[in-house]
Amino acid sequence: MPPQHGARRTITLAVNGRAVEVRVTASRTLLEVLREDLGLTGTKYGCDLGECGACTVLVDDEPRLACLQLAVEADGHRLTTVEGLAVDGTPHPLQAAFVALGAAQCGFCTSGMLMTAKALLDAVPDPSHEAVCEALAGNLCRCTGYVKIIEAVRLAAADARVPGRPEPAEVAR
C-alpha cells in the first residue's frame, strides 16, 4: 500500500559527514529539507524547476538538483552541500580560487557552481576549458560572463596538480 500524501516518515541522511534523521512527507524536496529542517541555507532556491542549478548538491558524489529530488529518495545516501566543502575552517581549493579571481558577484549561483565544479574535478582532475563549460552548462549566472568562474575552476584544478603550490587565496595576496 503506498504511503498517504500527508504521512510522515523518518529518513536518515549523511549530510556533510554527519548522520541526521528527519521526519518528512513524501512530497518534500531535498532542497526544502536542507534549508528548512537542517538550516543549510547555502543551497539556494532558484527557479524550482531544475533549470538554474542554484540548488545543486552532491548525492553520493554526483551532482543533483535538490529542487527536483524528493527527500525520501535521498534516504540512506551521502549528501554534500556547499557548507561541507571547507575542512576545519579552511576553504576548499575551489572556494579559494573563486575568491582569488573574484568569480562571484551577487553570489546567488555560487554554491551551485561550486558543487558542480567539485563533482567535475573529482571525476576529471585536469578538465579542459570545454569540459568545464560543458559541466557548468546547467548552472545559470545572470551577473557574470562566466569567464572568471571557468578560470577559477581551472585554477583550482591546476593547484591540485602542483605539490607545494600555494593555495589560490595565497597567490592573490
CATH number at residue 42: 3.10.20.30
Q: Taking residues 15-30, what's their average pLDDT?
A: 98
Residue 49 lies inside a defined structural domain of this protein: yes
Asked if residue 71 lies in contact with residue 26, where contact means CB atoms within 8 angstroms, the answer is no
What residue numbers bound the domain in which 149 lies?
93-159
pTM for this prediction: 0.89
171 in a structural domain: no
Residue 26 domain-assigned (yes or no): yes
What pLDDT, on a 0 to 100 scale, did the predictor assign at position 171? Answer: 44
Do residues 72 and 99 both lie within one domain?
no
What pLDDT shows up at residue 160? 77
Same domain flag for 32 and 57: yes
Task: Choose one of 28, 63, 84: the last residue of a domain.
Answer: 84
3-state secondary structure of 11: strand
Cell of 124: 576529471
The percentage of the chain sitting over the pLDDT mark of 70, rounded to a whole number, equals 90
pLDDT of 169 reads 47
Q: Do 77 and 19 share a domain, yes or no?
A: yes
Inform me whether the pLDDT recorded for 119 exceeds 90: yes
Closest CA to 30 of 65, 63, 82: 65
User: Of 35, 57, 84, which residue sits at a domain end?
Assistant: 84
If pLDDT is split at 50, 70 and 90, which confidence band does 105 have?
A: confident
Q: What's the rounded mean pLDDT across residues 26-32?
A: 98
Task: Decide which of 61, 84, 107 is a domain's last residue.
Answer: 84
Answer yes or no: is 172 within a domain. no
108 and 52 housed in the same domain: no
Do 18 and 72 belong together in one domain?
Answer: yes
pLDDT of residue 2: 58
User: Which are the contacts of 173, defined by CB distance < 8 A and separation ≥ 6?
Assistant: none
Check whether residue 14 and residue 80 sit in a common domain: yes
Instruction: State whether 61 and 107 are in the same domain.
Output: no
| Whether residues 17 and 53 fall in one domain | yes
DSSP E strand stretches across 106-170 = none
Whole-number Å distance between alpha carbons of 100 and 102:
6
At residue 37 the predicted structure's pLDDT band, cuts being 50, 70 and 90, is very high
Query: Residue 30 — very low, low, confident or very high, per pLDDT cuts 50/70/90?
Result: very high
Q: How many domains does the chain have?
A: 2
